[in-house]
Structure 1
Amino acid sequence: MKTTLLIAASAMALTACTRDASHAVTRLDCPGKEGDLTRVSSAPDGKTCVYRSPDGAQVSLELTPVVDSAQATLARIETDLRSTPGPMTPDAEAAQAEVSATIAEAAALKANVGAIAAEVARVHAEAAADAGISPSSKGSGASDGGSNRIDLPGVHVSEEGDSANVRIGPLRVDANGDDTTVNIYRDVRMKGEAFSTQKRGVRATFIYTGKDLPAGYRYVGYEAGGPKTGPLTVAKVRSKLNTESGDKIYHDVQELVRRNGGV
């Protein structure tokens, strides 16, 4: 969760800057490379392009029309990310299969190491019993069920057991065991409108890590930006590895959105 919070803090710290709504993009600018990301496909209409990272994480950059409102549109994207596997190109499927094989090998190795460790522990226990020595108690380390709470203007933090909720301005973090959800939604001024009283643009970040995901994914999220009236540039991220996979490419994802959405 610590790394995810660092990502959220980084997203909040970046200066907001969006493209004028009257100059909203109609086609995506998808470079062949963006940092560690490599483009593997792009749609002829310029509305979608797909990237992948060296460890198999997939990034789908999409030009998304706004329906109802920007916030409602992004909420639907969050639901879709958490319930639907992303489209995979043949190259991306091959890369993901290779990563999955590596994970399986690592899991098998870990299981073997665990079995060896268990056998060593058994031998030591038998030796201690033969010698009439009682193993020392090390304690269970169980939580005492305590809770912490902070309520200040604009800052609300509550923690109880494995659950935590954080509200700091536009940042919302909800954690429960291995599951963590991060949301950041901000109204921002458009480029060239620094002194305007209206904030006609939006920036948003969504991250979810946990086991409640389809097709074995462990990390999904998006970075989005653009005029509230649309279209929004949305970079959807999916990874079957742990949170670190998404962390490594986060800056590259931001650059793709900044290039197209003006944030």
Structure 2
Amino acid sequence: MKALYLLAASGLALTAAACGPKVPAARAALECPMKQGELTRTSVSPDGKACTYVSSGGAEVTLQLVSVQGGVDSALSNIETNLMAARVKAAEADKAAETAEAKPDEVAKDSKAAASAADQAAREAAADTKDIDVHVEVGKSGTVVAEGDGGVTRVDLPGIHIEADDEKDSARVQLGPIKIDAGDDTAQIRIRRDVRLRGEQLNPEKRGMRATFIYAGDDLGDGYHFVGYEAGGPKRGPITVAIVKSKDEELEDSDLHNAVKKLVRLNGGV
């Protein structure tokens, strides 16, 4: 009888293990449909780990499998750095061109003028601080600070952090997993969150991730005004990343965004 109980217990244990969430097999190649919404496929790599699309509006999309050696955040950071490299080079080239065009005597003159302007600005700033109207509200949830006309507004609440500077025409916003940094005719958005993998709705552990990065501005070089990515997949990798580039100055195409997200979800399993 004791042996029968042990056999029954072993059977129950095996059944419980079989019902538990299984680790999905790592994706080895992408599914790249010929059409996805308004996107049309233009190429597929021989190993099936990358494919390219173009939208009816001219946006370029590169879908690829990315390993996550060093961690998901490190992999995404590298992609972001590559996307923004053209922006850095463009800014450096513009600065070098302006310096080369300036004559020595003009440079000296401008330096003196800049120093004088800086002194004047410092004096004006010191005078202005005497009349700044600062309003502070402190509650159980957090703090809100507003500094008069043309000043800075700060909001610090659980999960919500906002800093807006009227004089610099800039704003930084964090709403949970969403981070926005805007100013000088540019805007940068990051979203990063843990999610459950497809078929694991009841699993208490979120073994997948989704991330979005968007940068819009006129300083990207090569005529581009928008770059970004949509990423998703198991944290252990590989993840699916769709890199988007566009020369459209006003890219507000929800159909494009939806098509990109569907490609990522299809291959990322999130």
Q: TM-score, normalised by structure 2?
A: 0.65
Tell me if structure 1 keeps the 8 A contact 2:232–2:265.
yes
Give the match's secondary structure for 1:194: coil
- 1:149 aligned onto 2:154: yes
Matched pairs, number: 188
Counterpart for residue 200 of structure 2: 193
The CA distance in 1 between the partners of 2:51 and 2:22, in whole Å, is 23
The CA distance in 1 between the partners of 2:64 and 2:249, in whole Å, is 24
Q: Deviations over 1:22-75 (max 9, x none)?
A: 222111110111111111111111001000011211000001111200011001
Counterpart for residue 181 of structure 2: 174
Which structure is higher in RCO with an 8 Å CA cutoff and minimum separation 6? 1
Counterpart for residue 111 of structure 2: none
Give the match's secondary structure for 1:251: helix
Alignment equivalent of 2:164, drawn from 156, 159, 164: 159
Give the match's secondary structure for 1:73: helix
Tell me if structure 2 keeps the 8 A contact 1:167–1:173.
yes
- 1:254 aligned onto 2:261: yes
Q: Return 5+ residue gaps in structure 1 as ranges.
A: 1-18, 86-143
Tell me if structure 1 keeps the 8 A contact 2:39–2:54.
yes
- 1:64 aligned onto 2:66: yes
User: Which one has a bigger Cα radius of gyration?
Assistant: 2
Kindly report which structure 2 residues correspond to 1:41-56, keeping only aligned pairs within 5 A, or say none.
41-56=43-58
Counterpart for residue 106 of structure 2: none
Q: Deviations over 1:115-160 (max 9, x none)?
A: xxxxxxxxxxxxxxxxxxxxxxxxxxxxx52332221111111111
Moved over 4 A (4+): 245-248
Alignment equivalent of 2:249, drawn from 239, 242, 247: 242
Q: Flag the 1:72–1:40 CA change in 2: closer, same or farther, 3 A.
A: same
The residue type paired with residue 68 of structure 2 is V
Give the match's secondary structure for 1:68: coil
Q: Flag the 1:245–1:20 CA change in 2: closer, same or farther, 3 A.
A: farther
Counterpart for residue 123 of structure 1: none
Give the match's secondary structure for 1:217: coil
Give the match's secondary structure for 1:46: coil
Counterpart for residue 223 of structure 1: 230
Give the match's secondary structure for 2:219: coil
Give the match's secondary structure for 1:215: coil
The CA distance in 2 between the partners of 1:28 and 1:258, in whole Å, is 11
Counterpart for residue 89 of structure 1: none
Q: Deviations over 1:140-187 (max 9, x none)?
A: xxxx52332221111111111210001111100000121111000111
The CA distance in 2 between the partners of 1:245 and 1:171, in whole Å, is 19
Tell me if structure 1 keeps the 8 A contact 2:64–2:240.
yes
Tell me if structure 2 keeps the 8 A contact 1:20–1:227.
no
The CA distance in 2 between the partners of 1:20 and 1:64, in whole Å, is 22
Q: Flag the 1:75–1:216 CA change in 2: closer, same or farther, 3 A.
A: same
The CA distance in 1 between the partners of 2:42 and 2:84, in whole Å, is 23
Tell me if structure 2 keeps the 8 A contact 1:60–1:235.
yes
Q: TM-score, normalised by structure 1?
A: 0.67
The CA distance in 2 between the partners of 1:233 and 1:206, in whole Å, is 14
The CA distance in 2 between the partners of 1:33 and 1:209, in whole Å, is 26
Cα distance, 1:20 vs structure 2: 6.8
Give the match's secondary structure for 2:24: helix
Cα distance, 1:229 vs structure 2: 1.1
Q: Return 5+ residue gaps in structure 2 as ranges.
A: 1-20, 88-148
The CA distance in 1 between the partners of 2:181 and 2:219, in whole Å, is 14
The CA distance in 2 between the partners of 1:57 and 1:245, in whole Å, is 11
Tell me if structure 2 keeps the 8 A contact 1:49–1:61.
yes
Tell me if structure 1 keeps the 8 A contact 2:39–2:53.
yes
Give the match's secondary structure for 2:251: helix
Identity of aligned residues (%): 49
The residue type paired with residue 231 of structure 2 is A
